[in-house]
Structure 1
Amino acid sequence: MDSTVGDVMTTGVATVDERTGYRDIVRTLVERRVSALPVLGADGRVVGVVSEEDLLHKEEFTTAGDRRPYRTPARARLRARLSPGGLLTESAEDKAAGSTAADVMTRPAVTIAPTASVVAAARLMERHGVKRLPVVDDGGLLLGIASRRDLLRVFQRADGDIAAAVEREIGAATSAVHGTVAAASVEDGVVTLTGSALHRSTAACLTRMAAGLEGVVSVDNRISWDVDDVLPPYITWRTL
């Protein structure tokens, strides 16, 4: 069974509330040796995330002789408020002038449920351009946090476990396809498939099945086939 976010998330997460001051945020980041903190609202729900990047805007817009934030052109300020995922956030300039978590945090927080798959979490991070996801329950209360490092834990799966999973997956498939025999071996997460099949498409299907299993780094398909029923990419049904 594939791992869920709840299986890999980090618990016992340090947090701040919206009223926490800038220096206290910095102190917590340093003491807990983390790069970001979930921000909780008055009801205990996650309302945002404050990261080192959010805090460093104060240095970005400050010079030794002038404590006033530099005023960027209006179009640039608007563009700065759009995150990679399309979320409207405070501009870097606004954050530079902030003094509390509510002022500098990125909002709204991009969160995920503990029952979501690790693959879903990775896609959500990519879509929104974030490095971590607060994990919340149905009521929005914090359960933990899932970072990119946490998601990589799935690749620590033992080769023996991966081999057993691949054998189960392809075994069920080959038993239903006449003339197909396949076996798998695994080394450092790389799956090698051997055997034979009547059609090339069957061998390709087994490769995709193995590649989709948790912990698989890549698949080396050495299954031989007799009939090439896979059309070259430059041939379409219209040209036939």
Structure 2
Amino acid sequence: MHATPHIVSDVMTHTVVAVGREATFKEIVRTMEQWKVSALPVLEGEGRVVGVVSEADLLPKEEFRDTDPDRYEQLRRLSDLAKAGAVTAGELMTAPAATIQASATLAQAARAMAQRKVKRLPVVDETGMLQGIVSRADLLKVFLRDDEDIAEEVRREVVAYLFPAPLSPIQVTVEDGVVTLSGRIRDTTLVPVAARLVRAVEGVVDVEIALMGPGRHPDLDPDLAGPAPVPPKAEAAKGEAAK
């Protein structure tokens, strides 16, 4: 039904560079430099993800290389000091790894990255085996979608569903990902629903609603009509009585 990516498997990178638990510090640095990545999944066995080693895990070795932290600093940064003395991926890695499954939605992946404060997530199957990796940049790919593709999906998935018989044709325009809906509809209580559904279409940057309800006619709506006009004869009689 939907023509755009909705799950992690649609945007993830399938070829992943990883290291084993016994990878040395220098091997990790060389691998990051060679592949231009800032983090590596750490695997064991046939490919089960047990952790992630990142540049942040490596930096304490340089930070504490020529310093002698005082007692307070030692207690405050026990984890970093431990990593400063680590020499293998198993000792350096952050575990357990923050991972996500290929069937997760892009919104779920974005929330997971925000909550865990990471830039990428290893993608695993139900048993924890590595399937790929998804990054922040991958999640942003949906915003490269063509405006007309977005408009077509909005017409098909939102307008046709919510407003099958509008009072006037619903116009859908998209410019730089911003969707505008205009026209007359029978039930204006559906406007918030329409806005929510349009915003859920992938690639949509923002939504502007210019939908109006049925027009009102004074001859049909008594509350719109002004005071009833006074007949000419009655007005004349009123004038004579005032003399």
- TM interval, shorter chain, is 0.7 to 0.9
The Cα of 1:115 is off from its aligned counterpart by: 1.3
Match of 1:192 in 2: 180
Match of 1:76 in 2: 76
Pick the aligned partner of 2:200 from 184, 200, 212. Answer: 212
Q: Which secondary structure does the structure 2 equivalent of 1:57 belong to?
A: helix
Contact 2:178 2:208 (8 Å CA) reproduced: yes
Identity across the alignment (%): 45
Match of 1:13 in 2: 16
Cα distance in structure 2, aligned partners of 1:147 and 1:58: 26
Contact 2:167 2:214 (8 Å CA) reproduced: no
Pick the aligned partner of 2:31 from 23, 28, 33. Answer: 28
Match of 1:236 in 2: none
Cα distance in structure 2, aligned partners of 1:41 and 1:195: 59
**Residues 203 and 181 (structure 1), Cα distance of their counterparts in 2 relative to 1, 3 Å cut:** farther
Which has the greater radius of gyration? 2
The 10-residue stretch of structure 1 (3-12 or 178-187) with the greater mean CA deviation from structure 2: 178-187
Cα distance in structure 2, aligned partners of 1:71 and 1:152: 44
Say whether residues 1:163 and 2:151 are aligned partners.
yes
**Residues 180 and 137 (structure 1), Cα distance of their counterparts in 2 relative to 1, 3 Å cut:** farther
| AA partner of residue 54 (structure 2) | S
Match of 1:47 in 2: 50
The Cα of 1:155 is off from its aligned counterpart by: 0.9
Match of 1:82 in 2: none
Match of 1:154 in 2: 142
**Residues 62 and 72 (structure 1), Cα distance of their counterparts in 2 relative to 1, 3 Å cut:** farther
Match of 1:103 in 2: 91
User: Could you state the TM-score of these two structures normalised by the residue count of structure 1?
Assistant: 0.80
User: Could you state the TM-score of these two structures normalised by the residue count of structure 2?
Assistant: 0.79
| AA partner of residue 35 (structure 2) | R
The Cα of 1:49 is off from its aligned counterpart by: 0.6
Structure 1 unaligned regions, length at least 5: 79-90, 228-240
The Cα of 1:73 is off from its aligned counterpart by: 5.1
The Cα of 1:11 is off from its aligned counterpart by: 1.8
Cα distance in structure 2, aligned partners of 1:111 and 1:77: 25
Q: Runs in 1 of length 4+ with deviation above 4 angstroms? A: 68-75, 178-181
Cα deviation code 1:131-160 (max 9, x no counterpart): 111011222111110000011111111111
Cα distance in structure 2, aligned partners of 1:181 and 1:209: 19
Q: What is the correspondence of 1:228-239 to structure 2 with a 5 Å cutoff?
A: none
Pick the aligned partner of 1:174 from 143, 149, 163. Answer: 163
Q: Which secondary structure does the structure 2 equivalent of 1:220 belong to?
A: strand
Q: What is the correspondence of 1:78-157 to structure 2 with a 5 Å cutoff?
A: 91-157=79-145
Cα deviation code 1:107-138 (max 9, x no counterpart): 11111111111111111111222111101122
